[in-house]
Chain A
Amino acid sequence: MAAAPLEQKYVELTEDMFKEGFLDDQFVQLQQLQDPSNPGFVAEVVTLFFEDSEKIIDSITETLETDPLDFKVLDAHVHQFKGSSSSIGAQRVKNVCISFRQCCDASNKEGCVNCLQQVKREYQLVKARLETLLQLEEQIVAAGGIVPQFE
């Protein structure tokens, strides 16, 4: 397949993600860190993010099921999730984490349960899109094209 249409699709997909708030400026930072000396950087970080997030979500789920519920422990997990999502620019996930932390501060179990659902949903959404993006990247490179950069 030719590189150009792939590149075009890449641009569109990324633009959409920005428009819909799935990604923010921080993602651009990651893209800018990718260069010939660091070619697979975005893929690497995003993959790590996936692994990390899945572990955290499991931990959060587990903690929510313990009785009595230790909000501090819960908050610590959410804090981690907020940090990593913020670092890669997964804006919507980050925002849910912020609300989630507020629920923890308020010791609001129901709120926390809701937030968990929300964060899982947002995570799945952004994950799907990012996976598509990464696939496109691979294809572009395989087709001899250049992955478009954003400013």
Chain B
Amino acid sequence: MDSSAIDRSSTENCAAELENVRAENAKLRSQNEALIREVEQLKLTGSSRIASPEVESSVEIAGLLSALKDSCISISYCDSDLRYVWATHFLESFAGKIVHGKHDDEIFPVQTKGLEEVTFLRKQALESGSLQMDYVQVFIPDRGHMTWLVIANPSFGHEGGKQEVPVGVITTCLNIPLAGDSQALVRSRTTEYELREAVRLTEEAIRAKNMFLSIMSHEIRTPLNGLLGLAQALESSGLDRDQRELLQAIVSSGTIIADILGDILDLASMESGAMKLETQPFSPADIVHEIAKMAVAATHEKGLEVLSYVGKSVPEVVIGDGLRVRQVMKYLVLNAIKFTQEGSVQIRLDSIPMLGTPDDPRFPSEELVTGREKRQKDQPVKSGCREGDFVLYCQIADTGLGIPKEAFATLFDHFRGLKFSSTINHGGTGLGLALCKQLVELMGGRLTVHSEVGKGSVFTFSVLCKSHDRDCSPEPTAKPVDNRPPCNHRRKEPKILLAEDNKVNVMVAISMLKRLGFTAQVVANGVEALEAMRKDKYDLVLLDICMPLMDGLQVAYAIRKFEQTGSWPEGIWDGNDSKELSTALEGFRNGGREEDSTGTSPRIPIIAVTANALRSDIERCFAHGMDAFIPKPVMFQKLREILSKYLPLPLEQQ
């Protein structure tokens, strides 16, 4: 081979070699760069702890970092010298410059407050190797005061073969809006809480008030009944005319007090939602006639005319709370009489079958008195009634003084009444109209008034009633005449139990009751009385106190106990004077109140009949649960008076 050929091939070889080397170099360089990048990544992400299997490629890591950089929280990574390695843009936006490689004090303006605390947290994290977290009050000029939640999290690396030590710290700062908006939020939450508290306290106060009224009225009622009982007893003793007149005045005042107490109790029980309405059959026409007769008697001296009218469409018997309807009507009529000096008082009763809601155009509308017509919260006016229900619609008109427009707004409020001079003489607590209104509304109706000063007033109320069940057996010879139902039951007759052992007394009592339109079941002693009560339901009990085997007091006690608890007292059937009687009397007395009786039965009126009219005897009667007492020998008027308080008297008796 010649040298030129060798030279040529060696040059070519060299060139090729050079190319190879260059290629290799380039490869190496890129590999190197890749390696460097990888190392950098590894350094940044710390130990293998953070490099989780999910984040495999550097591309993903880069993506994550990029996302972090753009997030709205400040996250940063500092080395062990607390120089920033990287940070999210958010932090950088605070600083206003790139933070890489710098300390906090080189980044933030001089007036910045809070950096020391952050630094402290980071140092703690590095030293302890555990997470540090705290609130830091920060001030950045141009940004203002902020509260940051600062979390400093150490990041670990290996140093040689040693244990993991913190090589840097990741700091997360969250801006907690405690100032400004958040404070308002906290404030409103506080206010809400305070408001709830206030409502709760108010409701409690109202409950307490009603309870107080109930209890006080009862406490007053018991000695008052005693007082009236004593007055009655006094009446039966020999009195001359002057004494009798004085006594009448005493009884009259006492009765007024008792009525007021009754009103207060009614109002309290209505407000507390404890008042329950009856659903018993009653005759609206009978009520009107009764009250008309009463009105005639009351207007005798004034010479007023009393007119009553019962519409043809008013059913003979309806189901509802007759006593309450009577109460309202009576009050309104008495009111009308009170304020009328001449002319007339009219009572008018109509009925309208319910076909729709109270706002139905067929429902009679009256000009409503403007004022605070607050409905009972739990007793909305019933709407959507079924067919077969009725509205009883009653108007009481008078030609009296009339009511001025100024008085309308407070007319139905408690304790207001009318505030003009001519009423000063008329007395009364002013509870009446408020009570009437509430009663009427409780019965699903409305109470309204029209009035003109000098001309008179018209009070109108409506109540919802159900039509009477027609399932009573018809009389065999009955022929339906003008749409009346075949059976003509006027009213459920009250069942009276009479416990009396003296035959003569029984005959007289039965005869008196018969005159009043009642019949009674007679038993001769306390044991028989309780047996009768176990077997049957009675509407009223007349109890002779001195009876053999078991006296009236024990009977009354047993009855009340049964009403309260649903069970009879121990040993009561032996007829012994059980010690349970004396020990339990106190507890019984407190528990035996009408309003909060949670027993299984309603409270039955128990009337003591006794010759003993000493105060201590009368008090014992009431303490054992009696409601009233009639002295012996029983006088017809007294019997009638007492019974009329608890039972509706049949029509003939008016």
Chain A residues proximal to chain B, CB less than 8 Å: 25-26, 29-30, 32-33, 35, 37-38, 41, 44-45, 48-49, 52, 76, 79-80, 82-84, 86-89
Contact = CB atoms under 8 A, between A and B. Distances in A.
Interface in B491-512: 501-505, 507-508, 511-512
B452 to A, nearest CB: 46
B636 A88 contact: no
A76 B515 CA distance: 31
B507 A86 contact: no
Contacts, number: 60
B507 A26 contact: no
A25 B511 CA distance: 17
Contact of A41 (B504, B511, B611): B511
Contacts of A89: 633
A84 B503 contact: yes
Nearest to A82: B611
B281 to A, nearest CB: 26
Nearest to B632: A86
B511 A33 contact: yes
Nearest to A88: B504
B543 to A, nearest CB: 14
B504 A49 contact: yes
6 contacts: A29-B635, A37-B514, A44-B507, A86-B611, A87-B502, A88-B504
B146 interface: no
Interface in B625-639: 632-636
A100 to B, nearest CB: 14
Given A38-B514, A49-B504, A52-B503, A87 B636 contact: no
B231 interface: no
B641 to A, nearest CB: 14
B546 interface: yes
B505 A84 contact: yes
Interface of B: 501-505, 507-508, 511-512, 514-515, 546, 548, 611, 632-636
Given A26-B635, A32-B636, A33-B515, A83 B505 contact: yes
Given A29-B635, A29-B636, A87-B632, A79 B546 contact: yes
Given A30-B508, A52-B504, A83 B636 contact: no
B511 A87 contact: no
Contacts of A32: 636
Nearest to A32: B636
Nearest to A50: B504
A87 B504 contact: yes
A93 B425 CA distance: 50
Contact of B508 (A25, A82, A88): A88
A63 to B, nearest CB: 15
Given A32-B636, A83-B505, 4 more contacts: A33-B515, A80-B501, A86-B611, A86-B632
A20 B632 CA distance: 22
Contact of B633 (A49, A52, A87): A87
B611 A33 contact: no
A85 B332 CA distance: 45
Given A79-B546, A86-B611, A45 B635 contact: no
A29 B635 CA distance: 7
A79 B502 CA distance: 10
A41 B507 CA distance: 9
Given A83-B502, A87-B632, A45 B508 contact: yes
Contact of A87 (B501, B514, B634): B634
B235 to A, nearest CB: 11
Q: Which residue, of B501, B511, B548, B611, has the highest number of chain A Cβ atoms within 10 A?
A: B511
B511 A38 contact: yes
A10 B507 CA distance: 24
Nearest to B515: A33
A83 B502 CA distance: 7
A80 B635 contact: no
B502 A33 contact: no
Contacts of B512: 29, 33
Contacts of A76: 548
B511 A83 contact: no
A55 to B, nearest CB: 10
B140 to A, nearest CB: 103
Q: Which 5 residue pairs of A and B lie closest in terms of their CB atoms, listed nearest first?
A: A84-B504, A86-B633, A83-B502, A33-B511, A26-B633
B513 to A, nearest CB: 10
B503 to A, nearest CB: 6
Contacts of B504: 45, 48-49, 52, 83-84, 87-88
> Which of B515, B632, B633: most chain A CB closer than 10 A?
B633
A123 B94 CA distance: 121
Interface centre among B503, B504, B514 (most CB of A within 10 A): B504
Q: Which of B503, B548, B635 has the most CB of A within 10 A?
A: B503
A45 B504 CA distance: 7
B247 to A, nearest CB: 16
Given A86-B611, A87-B632, A45 B502 contact: no
A87 B635 contact: no
A22 to B, nearest CB: 15
Contacts of B635: 25-26, 29
A79 B515 CA distance: 27
A19 B551 CA distance: 37
A83 to B, nearest CB: 5
Contacts of B546: 79
Contact of A33 (B501, B505, B632, B636): B636
A36 B505 CA distance: 22
Contacts of B632: 83, 86-87
Contacts of B611: 82-83, 86
Nearest to B502: A83
Contacts of A25: 635
A45 B636 contact: no
Contact of B507 (A29, A35, A45, A83): A45
Q: Most chain-B CB neighbours within 10 Å: which of A33, A35, A52, A82? A: A33
Contacts of A84: 502-505
Nearest to A76: B548
A28 B393 CA distance: 44
Contacts of A38: 511, 514-515
Contacts of B515: 33, 35, 38
Contacts of B505: 83-84, 87
Nearest to A53: B504
A52 B487 CA distance: 44
A41 B512 CA distance: 11
Contacts of A79: 546
Contacts of B636: 29, 32-33
Contacts of A48: 503-504, 507
A30 B510 CA distance: 12
